[in-house]
Amino acid sequence: MTPNALNRRSMLTGGSLLGLGTLLTACVPHDITTAGDESTASGRAATNSSSSAGNSAGEYRKADERGPAQNVPKPNAPEDGYREKTAAGIRKTMDAWNQWINYGIQTGDYSKAREFLSSTNDGELKIYREIEALYRRGGWVIDGIQYFKPVGEPWTEDDQTYRLKTRHEWDKETDVEPDGRQETWSSDKEEEIYIFALEHRDGRWQILYSQIDA
Domain membership flag for residue 165: yes
In the prediction, which pLDDT does 3 show? 38
Q: In DSSP terms, which residues pair with 108 in a beta bridge?
A: none
pTM: 0.80
Domain membership flag for residue 93: yes
**Containing domain of residue 120, as a range?**
8-47+77-212
Q: Which residues of the chain register pLDDT less than 50?
A: 1-5, 15-30, 32, 34-55
Domain membership flag for residue 181: yes
Domain membership flag for residue 57: no
In the prediction, which pLDDT does 171 show? 80
In the prediction, which pLDDT does 51 show? 43
Domain harbouring 188, CATH code: 3.10.450.540
Domain membership flag for residue 103: yes
Domain membership flag for residue 164: yes
Domain membership flag for residue 127: yes
Rounded to an integer, what distance in angstroms lies between the CA atom of residue 4 and that of residue 179? 22
In the prediction, which pLDDT does 27 show? 30
> For the chain, how many structural domains are there in total?
1
- Say if CB 164 and CB 90 are below 8 A apart: yes
Domain membership flag for residue 169: yes
